[in-house]
Amino acid sequence: MVTCTYMVLRYYEKRGLLSESSKPLPKYDDFRGRFGSYVGTLGLPPNKLHDYLNVAVPKEHLKVQHKTGNMVSLEYHIRNKTPIIPIFDYLMYQQSTPSKATHATLLTGYTAENFYTNDPIHGKRYPYEKPKFVEAWGQRSNKYILITPKGATLNSYLTQTSGC
């Protein structure tokens, strides 16, 4: 979760949506270090991610939303260039076996067959097959996380040209 959160912040930094006082973001190892022993559970429970971000990037005003959705909502956020972090059962996706192996990834694109992600394990543009992904995501109640700079609007994302 820390890696996905950092990728979202880098995305906003590249698009010029973070405040000037936060630039540049700390190096990843410094960012990760601020979360200490909570690295494995970051974002769960929901209110904690906001608290940790306030420590890691205190000058930012970030809005953290924990939502439940469906495939349409994932595609909507991708189309509108809003970084989205779904939480899913990694072993369910890999082996079709339900488990407690929760995983987070950053969705960056989609086709009729796949979701594309910047994945902490697999790297950039990793394809997840939609039917298998949706099943594994369902094992975690179709939860996802949005982290957005407060005051940013949809137009803030669409008028910028840099990517994830």
In a domain, 120, yes or no: yes
Q: Check residue 38 and give its pLDDT.
A: 60
The predicted model gives 20-26 an average pLDDT of 70
pTM of the model: 0.85
In a domain, 149, yes or no: yes
In a domain, 163, yes or no: no
157 half-sphere exposure, CB direction, 13 A CA radius:
19
Q: Check residue 21 and give its pLDDT.
A: 62
In a domain, 86, yes or no: yes
CA distance 144 to 115: 14
Range of the domain at 86: 2-158
Per-residue DSSP letters for 76-113?
A: HHHHTT--BEEEEEHHHHHHS---S-EEE-EEEEE-SS
In a domain, 164, yes or no: no
Domains: count for the chain? 1
Single-letter code of the amino acid located at 32: R
CATH code: domain of residue 56: 3.90.70.10
Asked whether the predicted pLDDT for residue 59 surpasses 80, the reply is: no
